[in-house]
């Protein structure tokens, strides 16, 4: 149930507005002045505020301006018996969504205006969230394991519960998260994503939970945080196993109570967001080692989907290669390459330890250096240690040989390639694969 704050110095108006709002299905609180209004606002979450233009301790437009400055992103409506075009413009410029004159004609007018303002705020939040979200990716999967996974995604998407995605790095967990959102009832609301390993603890806390103006050095304005920006939609928490213990406790409260407390805030804000988390770690082992909270693990692990590694779904390798090569061809203005039997056999024989992410990188590199002639297209598959001591030794020997050749050539890569008996292009590839600068 949405909650509304009514600010008016006249008791009769507070009772009248409160009564109409309750009949319309809203919960209400009332304040007779600005001081009391701000005290209530700091303690509770409100979806909308009706504020009288003339209050005993502050002008209503000042109240609107201060509420917006302090991070209130709900609907704000100014009401007055002394309306002019000038004051209406001032109220809108200060951050109000609408300007009403007393007396109100009845509940119908109130509901129409309020619904319009609430929808406007929802739209503004969605626009603000747009800069964080990308489009829904296409599902490329013909292997039976992938088709089975897609069917599970469609079923789980309809159940509005927390989902834990597990699997090796690069298997496409974010793609699955986006599909869960796309197939759900939340599809028209924001989908936002954050990598828990990519930010420092303090920055991640601010990014997730938001912060108030002045909460820390540099916080010149309030920020709602991804949990609030994703309200009504889905938030994807990648690499959840990297979340610091202190933030695990805050996230647990979000899951338990559906409320969020911004950094520097004094009141919790109710939210409606679906969480999808992903990890390449064994969270049960992390719990046993004391690095992950058991209660949070159980809250996250309501439904678990495991994404198989690419080596176990070989039927996807060639379609994925064709997809990524075609995408690069469009970007680079080159024709789509044709795969011969030898190239396909090599692609299928390779174990793809980096999974789909590695495959995409291989396709990008191969297309980048291709001259556009079909007879010269080749896959730049890295030489990596796969299994066995002999392969590890070969990996080390080749790396040392390249490093030695570069030293002998005085850093001249063309000369080093000649010493090794390989092309300059091959040398560049191998240096990249072995992380040689």
Q: Domain of 14: which CATH number?
A: 3.40.50.2300
Highest mean pLDDT among 190-194, 375-379, 423-427: 190-194
Strands, sheet with 75-80, edge to edge from the N-terminal-most edge strand: 27-31, 3-7, 48-52, 75-80, 98-101
Answer yes or no: do 277 and 158 share one domain: yes
Answer yes or no: do 352 and 423 share one domain: yes
Q: In the beta sheet, which residues pair with residue 80?
A: 101
Q: Does residue 137 fall inside a structural domain?
A: no
Answer yes or no: do 380 and 418 share one domain: yes
Answer yes or no: are the C-beta atoms of 85 and 99 closer than 8 Å. no
Domain finish residue from 306, 340, 372: 306
CATH number at residue 232: 3.40.50.300
In this predicted structure, what is the pLDDT of residue 342? 86
Answer yes or no: do 35 and 52 share one domain: yes
Answer yes or no: do 269 and 317 share one domain: no
Mind listing the pLDDT tens digit for each residue in 181-230?
Answer: 999 999 888 999 999 988 888 889 999 998 888 778 777 777 889 999 99
Answer yes or no: do 164 and 196 share one domain: yes
In this predicted structure, what is the pLDDT of residue 56? 92
Answer yes or no: do 302 and 318 share one domain: no
Mind listing the pLDDT tens digit for each residue in 230-289?
Answer: 999 999 999 999 999 999 999 999 999 999 998 888 888 899 999 999 999 999 999 999
Domain finish residue from 98, 130, 162: 130
Say if pTM beats, i.e. exceeds, 0.85.
no
Q: The domain containing residue 77 runs over which residues?
A: 3-130
Q: Does residue 139 fall inside a structural domain?
A: no
Beta-strand relationship, 269-270 and 259-260? antiparallel
Beta-strand relationship, 163-166 and 303-306? parallel
Confidence band (pLDDT; 50, 70, 90) for 127? low
Answer yes or no: do 174 and 300 share one domain: yes
Answer yes or no: do 272 and 332 share one domain: no
Radius of gyration (Cα) for the chain, nearest Å? 29
Answer yes or no: do 202 and 284 share one domain: yes
Q: Does residue 332 fall inside a structural domain?
A: yes
Answer yes or no: are the C-beta atoms of 94 and 68 closer than 8 Å. yes
Mention every residue, 6+ apart, whose C-beta is less than 8 A from residue 412: none
Domain count of the fold of the chain: 3
Q: Which two tokens stand for residue 435?
A: 């992380």
Domain finish residue from 306, 324, 348: 306
In this predicted structure, what is the pLDDT of residue 386? 47
Rounded distance between C-alpha atoms, residue 88 and residue 131, angstroms: 31
Name the one residue in this structure whose structure tokens are 């010149």: 220
Q: Which two tokens stand for residue 285?
A: 């082992």
Answer yes or no: do 160 and 227 share one domain: yes
Confidence band (pLDDT; 50, 70, 90) for 100? confident
Answer yes or no: do 258 and 292 share one domain: yes
CATH number at residue 335: 1.10.8.60
DSSP strands (E only) in 314-404: none
């Amino acid at each position: 149930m949405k909650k509304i704050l009514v600010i008016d110095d006249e008791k009769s108006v507070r009772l009248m507005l409160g009564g109409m709002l309750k009949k319309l299905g809203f919960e209400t609180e009332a304040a007779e002045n600005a001081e009391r209004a701000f005290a209530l606002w700091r303690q509770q979450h409100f979806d909308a505020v009706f504020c009288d233009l003339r209050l005993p301790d502050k002008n209503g437009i000042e109240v609107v301006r201060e509420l917006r400055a302090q991070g209130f992103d709900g609907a704000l409506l100014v009401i007055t018996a002394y309306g002019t075009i000038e004051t209406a413009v001032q109220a809108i410029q200060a951050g109000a969504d609408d300007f009403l004159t007393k007396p109100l004609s009845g509940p119908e007018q109130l509901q129409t205006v309020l619904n319009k303002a609430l929808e406007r705020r929802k739209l503004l939040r969605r626009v603000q969230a747009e800069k964080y979200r990308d489009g829904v990716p296409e599902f490329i999967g013909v292997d039976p394991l992938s088709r089975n996974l897609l069917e599970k995604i469609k079923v789980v998407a309809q159940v509005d519960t927390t989902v834990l995605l597990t699997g090796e790095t690069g298997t496409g967990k974010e793609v699955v998260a986006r599909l869960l959102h796309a197939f759900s009832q939340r599809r028209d609301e924001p989908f936002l994503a954050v990598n828990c390993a990519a930010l420092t603890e303090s920055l991640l806390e601010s990014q997730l939970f938001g912060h108030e103006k002045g909460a820390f050095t540099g916080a010149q304005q309030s920020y709602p945080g991804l949990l609030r920006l994703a309200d009504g939609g889905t938030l994807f928490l990648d690499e959840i196993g990297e979340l610091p213990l202190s933030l695990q406790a805050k996230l647990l409260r979000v899951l338990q109570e559906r409320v969020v407390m911004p950094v520097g805030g004094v009141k919790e804000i109710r939210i409606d967001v679906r969480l999808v988390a992903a990890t390449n770690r064994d969270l049960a082992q992390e719990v046993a080692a004391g690095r992950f909270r058991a209660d949070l693990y159980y809250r996250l692990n309501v439904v678990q989907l495991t994404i198989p590694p690419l080596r176990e779904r070989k039927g996807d390798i060639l379609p994925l290669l064709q997809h990524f090569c075609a995408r690069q061809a469009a970007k680079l203005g080159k024709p789509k390459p044709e795969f011969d039997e030898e190239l396909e056999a090599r692609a299928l024989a390779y174990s793809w330890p980096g999974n789909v992410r590695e495959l995409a990188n291989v396709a990008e590199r191969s297309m980048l250096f291709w001259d556009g002639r079909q007879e010269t297209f080749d896959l730049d598959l890295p030489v990596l240690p796969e299994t066995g001591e002999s392969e590890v030794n070969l990996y080390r020997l080749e790396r040392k040989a390249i490093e030695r050749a570069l030293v002998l050539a005085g850093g001249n890569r063309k000369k080093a390639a000649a010493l090794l008996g390989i092309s300059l292009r091959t040398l560049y590839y191998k240096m990249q694969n072995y992380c040689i600068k």
